[in-house]
Chain A
Amino acid sequence: MSQAQTGSMAGLKPQEVAFWLGKAVEWGQTESPDTQRDTCLHLGPLRAFLQLLLTDIHMRISTTETMRAIPFVGQFLGRLCWNPYVTADAESRSLLLQSLWSLYSEEPHNAVERKANQWIRNVLCQLATEEEDSATHMLVKHMGLPPKEYNVKVLRKMVWLLVEEVGESCSSLADPNQRCSCDSVLAASVACLPLVTCPETAPLIGALLQRPVTCDKTALSQDFLDAVSSAYSRKCVSLEAQAVVSLWCHNLASLEGAVMSLLDSVLSNPASIPHNLESTITHSLLPKACSQHGSIFLIVNDIFRSMLVQVEGNQTLLSLIHTFTICFLRELAALQPQECVSLKAFFPHTPQSLLAPLLTHPSEMAQEAWPEHLAWITASLQRLTEEEEEGNRGQCGVFEAWFLLVQCADWLEVASQLLVSARPQDCGPLLWLLTFYHHPTNRGHHRTQQLVAAREVWDHLRSLFLLSAPPLPADRLQSLAELMSAVPQQPSLDSLLVVSLLGNFAVFSHNPLSGAREIVRMVVQRSGLVREAVCVLDMVELRLNRERASTSLTDRVTLRTRALRGTLTHMAQHDTHTHGTT
């Protein structure tokens, strides 16, 4: 027997229908706290059912057919229309109204459809214009208040009163005579489930989230937290920053969701970095939350760590972690002194000897002190790696140290900058640091080879930028380009390391700009790493902006950076133009 013949609902199961019909009747009959609570807790499933119902109605040819197939529909929708918990929630309300409109016939063919039309128009008119309390309505009219404005003001006043009360923490621990108010706040949080997306009640949602936690009873229901979290990730609710931080404190899933969302938006759009990176990260509110709650910072870093393991060698991810840490440290510094926690709490796994040196920003010390500082850092790292290889320490030590280096990558760029002017006898530790950054694990013990390769690159660059006069030695250019485009499988140097060195040499050396331009252009063209080179230059510029106060050579260098970047961008455009789509 086909379904069309029996006229039964396609996606709707009879027991489901019976269940929801029963609920609609039950909710309409009494207004006890229990029924109200029941309605709120069933909102999610109700939405799903309404969606099924709507789909079903859409499949029908006419309202007459609908009324024959699902005769309960009118009564059901009608009951729900008068349930404020259903109509306050944006999604249920929308589904409800859509269903009603689906039952409306533009050209009614018979009495049933005409009656349905009339009923629908009636319900809508009543919903929008009926005033419950006629005495109050008369007063409103005589005071010259437009009814809509009056209703909005009453709502705002109610929200304001509740916000005040919710904000008072329960003092039952301090004063046993006072009754704990957490139970009623818990009930209130359930009652607010339909109001999570309503803009006027946002202050109340925020107040509930930020309620001071002073007793061990839970004051916020899990359903409430899940609803807010879901609405926040869909950008359906506007919460102030502190409320969002509180949400994350209460609900781990929403914090993880926020971190994944940040990672997603950054990693899926690498072209937007690095300039927008800082603002994207700041807008996510995660650095602020991390600075206020060490536990949040630890969780975020854990997620970063697991991403690093999954997506090895992703420069975007490394930049993200670096910029995130910068934002975090900035937020931390902005906190009131009494709220400050020692840095050890935020970096519990890192070898303590490296913590202070790496977390000190290059701009906090004189440029002359940089080489010595870096030498110290490098020596510590070398010691760590040797100990690990000898089996003395766990693997964690080196990884954590490397992770901290990633977080404080400004030092790495400083090392690159210093390499431009370093003497041959001083370049060792700096090259080691760079190699370590790009190849933290000494798999297959290739580090020695990598160091040799790095030295070679450095030699080439030095001779190109510092020693030669035009015309440029073609063979040196060729070998440099070859180094950069080496096959990834070989344990050769990371091409990014080479590009980074190239960029730094171009920016910080003193040879004429035209010469530098030519070198960069030729090498990058042969290796094809235009985007990476542009990225390196952007990072140099950003770092210089951060250190604006301390460095003396900013103007000259900034101009060079911009000019070189211009050349590369022009090259990239020219390339795509001549070769069509890349």
Chain B
Amino acid sequence: MEAIVKNVERTTELLAVSQTETVQRWDKQTLDRAFQWTQYCQHVYTRFHANPTVRDILEKQLQVTNESLRTTFHGYTDITFSDLSQCQHLLLVGLLNNAAVPSSVVKLLFDTITVGGKYKDATGHCTELIEVKSACKVLSAIHLKRSTSFPGSDADVLGMTLMEMLDILLSPATGASKVGLAEKLLDNLLQTCGENENFSGVVAAALLSRKNNNTAAATTTTKMASEGVSFHFILDWLQQHHSLLHNMCSTLPIGLLMDLHQQSLRFRVTYGDMLKQWGSQLEYDVGEGEWVQMYTTDGVSFKTLSDHYRSLLGACPSTKEDVERELTELKVADGDFDVRGLSIWGDLLSELNTV
């Protein structure tokens, strides 16, 4: 443990040094070693981010290191524990922005990629980055049937990573389940995103990630156990973040919602409740002869609502029955009139039946 703390401290110092003039003396060996240290720190993060005890120790040490480095280096920015996961990126940014770095060192980073052996050195690191990013841009311009579908590969990757993180945090195997940390994570992410739209796709991708993964890798028994746990956890959390849930259900393609509907009973209930709530928010405008949103600005239109219900009817026979029954019950509760404009449920039913 002591060794790890010391190494993290050293790497933090290294990061600070990399932004000063001392780098003039750097050569290939120094560069490679620096990269290896940052890689090490990234491993430390992966290993301990779900372990509050170790995390605490490291965070305290980093605070101490930050204080001393602040006095030594002018314009120093603090490194926190979560920054450790971005260590290599920070080093790279620092070096590339530092005019004192010898051009020979920079040339190494942009050298041709060597098909590396076991230990990866810094040569060609930036070239590889450029290659990968450019390839992504090229591929994103290719439009075949499904590949343009929402949520898109970037949200997919983020969603999958999110699920993996939740799995670790919520799995009983890593000690006491850290529900608090998991909640904090989701809250944090939502806050980072600012707008709901940015996060909806990621959450949806996270919920769907199991479906895509099931056909791929083999799932171990421990994974099976927590797979349900993370999924439910997200749904629970969504209940408390109503606007995000609303955003998800109203902006995601209906096909995606149907996938989720198929996958989870719990989601069916959540989704059904959401639809009912949307329905209850619509008021009949006698002048227009239409059901309209009176109270909320981001509410859902009658047409959208009926589209959602239509998809549900088309999902599978048992769902069709359930939905029809539910709508009928609601219509009956409203007085069971067949006149347009009196009950949204009745009007929905007649709309759906005319197709």
Bound pair (A, B): yes
> Which one of A159-167, A339-347, A370-378, A395-403 is at the B interface?
A159-167
Q: Is A216 an interface residue (CB 8 A)?
A: no
Q: Which of B85, B96, B145, B165 contacts A129 (CB 8 A)?
A: B96
In the assembled complex, the Cα of A181 lies from the Cα of B141 at a distance in Å of: 16
10 closest pairs, A vs B, by CB?
A: A88-B134, A84-B137, A125-B96, A144-B85, A84-B134, A128-B126, A87-B134, A157-B153, A165-B144, A153-B157
> Which one of A90-98, A461-469, A484-492, A510-518 is at the B interface?
A90-98
> Known contacts being A106-B103, A158-B139, A195-B138, is A93 close to B127, with CB within 8 Å?
yes
> Known contacts being A142-B188, A144-B82, is A127 close to B130, with CB within 8 Å?
yes
Question: Can you give 5 A-B contacts (C-beta < 8 A)?
Answer: A88-B134, A144-B165, A152-B132, A153-B161, A188-B144
In the assembled complex, the Cα of A84 lies from the Cα of B66 at a distance in Å of: 39
Q: A128 to B96, Cβ gap below 8 A?
A: yes
Q: Which of B85, B110, B142 contacts A188 (CB 8 A)?
A: B142
Residues of A within 8 A of B136 (CB): 151, 154-155, 158
In the assembled complex, the Cα of A187 lies from the Cα of B141 at a distance in Å of: 11
Residues of B within 8 A of A566 (CB): none
The distance from the CB of B243 to the nearest CB of chain A, in whole angstroms, is: 17
The distance from the CB of B175 to the nearest CB of chain A, in whole angstroms, is: 19
> Known contacts being A148-B88, A162-B147, is A136 close to B154, with CB within 8 Å?
yes
Complex interface residues of chain B between 110 and 134 (CB less than 8 A to chain A): 110, 112, 126-134
Q: Is B158 an interface residue (CB 8 A)?
A: yes
The distance from the CB of A503 to the nearest CB of chain B, in whole angstroms, is: 44
Binding site for A on B (CB under 8 A): 42, 45-46, 49, 82, 85-89, 92-93, 96-97, 99, 103, 106-107, 109-110, 112, 126-147, 153-154, 156-158, 161-162, 165, 188-189, 192-195, 198-199, 202
Q: B144 to A184, Cβ gap below 8 A?
A: yes
In the assembled complex, the Cα of A231 lies from the Cα of B135 at a distance in Å of: 17
Most buried by B among A94, A145, A164, A195: A145
> Known contacts being A97-B110, A129-B93, is A155 close to B189, with CB within 8 Å?
no
Residues of A within 8 A of B42 (CB): 146
Q: Which of A31, A146, A187, A192 contacts B88 (CB 8 A)?
A: A146
> Known contacts being A146-B85, A151-B132, is A161 close to B147, with CB within 8 Å?
yes
Q: A142 to B189, Cβ gap below 8 A?
A: yes
Residues of A within 8 A of B157 (CB): 150, 153-154, 157
The closest CB in chain A to the CB of B103 belongs to A104
In the assembled complex, the Cα of A9 lies from the Cα of B147 at a distance in Å of: 46
Q: B45 to A144, Cβ gap below 8 A?
A: yes
The closest CB in chain A to the CB of B107 belongs to A101
> Known contacts being A104-B103, A148-B89, A155-B132, is A135 close to B189, with CB within 8 Å?
no
Q: A143 to B89, Cβ gap below 8 A?
A: no
The closest CB in chain B to the CB of A144 belongs to B85
Q: Which of B107, B131, B189, B192 contacts A88 (CB 8 A)?
A: B131
Q: A139 to B107, Cβ gap below 8 A?
A: no
Known: A125-B97, A144-B49. 6 other contacts (CB 8 A): A135-B194, A146-B86, A158-B153, A184-B144, A184-B145, A201-B135
Q: Is A121 an interface residue (CB 8 A)?
A: yes
The distance from the CB of B5 to the nearest CB of chain A, in whole angstroms, is: 19
